[in-house]
């Protein structure tokens, strides 16, 4: 029952994220995701240049009655891009553009989140704290 619940919850989150026009408050992805945890996860993985951070070494959790959270951060064995997979002047989140087709691509969530003015504003605000 729990597995079916979380699969459906993730489906609802992904559907909302895909269909969100970011100007309409109805059924926003933020109804399903704790925005601040996604912001922190994004910033930490970019600062650490963790090329596995968005695609492999990723944990998520959801407390009962709560929203989806990213984290904890873990497995920085190829953090700071020791594998030279991403140009030093590039964003790790754009991994897919640098490596072509990989068996483990960055999920659509991240590029889609970067299209959201609310997410970008939250990243900027967190960065300046």
Instruction: Summarize pLDDT for 18-64 with one digit per residue, the tens.
Output: 987 877 767 789 999 999 999 999 999 888 888 888 888 889 999 99
**Is residue 22 within 8 Å of 117, Cβ to Cβ?**
yes
> What is the reported pTM?
0.87
pLDDT at 83: 58
pLDDT at 71: 92
Is the pLDDT at 100 greater than 90? The verdict is no
Query: Could you give the C-alpha distances from 45 to 31, 105, 123, in angstroms and in order?
Result: 24, 15, 13
Nearest to 46 by CA among 129, 110, 117, 118: 110
CA distance 55 to 47: 16
Residue 81 DSSP class: G
Whether the pLDDT of residue 104 is over 80: the answer is no
The predicted pLDDT at position 38 comes to 97
């Amino acid at each position: 029952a729990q597995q079916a619940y979380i699969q459906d919850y993730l489906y609802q989150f992904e559907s909302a994220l895909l269909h969100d026009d970011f100007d309409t408050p109805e059924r926003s992805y933020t109804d399903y995701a704790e925005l601040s945890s996604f912001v922190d996860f994004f910033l930490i993985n970019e600062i650490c240049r963790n090329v596995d951070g968005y695609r492999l070494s990723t944990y998520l959790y959801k407390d009962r009655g709560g929203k989806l959270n990213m984290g904890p951060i873990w497995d920085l064995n190829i953090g700071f891009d020791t594998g030279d997979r991403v140009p030093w002047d590039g964003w790790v989140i754009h991994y897919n553009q640098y490596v072509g087709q990989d068996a483990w691509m960055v999920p659509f969530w991240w590029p889609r989140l970067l299209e959201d003015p609310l997410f970008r504003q939250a990243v900027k605000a967190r960065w300046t704290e």
